[in-house]
Structure 1
Amino acid sequence: MAETEPHPIIRMAELEIDPAQLDAYKAFLTEEIEASVRLEPGVLSLNAVSVKGDPAQIRIFEVYADQVAYEAHLKAPHFLKYKNGTAAMVRSLRLIEADPIVLRAKSAGGPPSQ
Structure 2
Amino acid sequence: MSGYVILVDFLLKPGSKAEFRRAIDANAKASCRAEPGCRQFDVVEPRDDPDRIVLYEIYDDRAAFEAHLKTPHLAAFEAASNHLVTKKTVIAGDLACEGSKE
Please give the TM-score of this superposition, normalised by the length of structure 2: 0.90
State the 1:53 CA deviation.
Answer: 2.8
Instruction: Say which of 49, 61, 65 aligns to 1:66.
Output: 61
Match of 1:93 in 2: 88
Aligned partner (choices 31, 34, 40) of residue 35 of structure 2:
40
Aligned with 2:7 (options 6, 12, 17): 12
Asked whether the 8 Å contact 2:15–2:51 carries over to 1, the reply is no
4+ long deviations beyond 6 Å: none
Q: Which amino acid aligns with 1:36?
A: S
Larger RCO of the pair (alpha carbons < 8 Å, separation 6+): 2
For residues 47 and 11 of structure 2, what CA distance do their matches in structure 1 show?
13
CA distance in 2 between partners of 1:73 and 1:105 (Å): 25
**Stretches of structure 2 lacking an aligned partner (at least 5 in a row):** none
> Whose Rg is larger?
1
* TM-score, L = length of structure 1: 0.81
Identity %: 26
State the alpha-carbon separation in 2 of the partners of residues 66 and 41 from structure 1. 11
Distance 2:35 2:9 in 1: 23
Q: Give how far 1:19 is off.
A: 2.1
- Unpaired runs of at least 5, structure 1: 1-6, 107-114
Q: CA RMSD in A?
A: 1.4
Report the more deviating stretch, 71-80 or 97-106: 97-106
Rate the CA distance shift 1:89–1:70 in 2: closer, same or farther, 3 A.
same
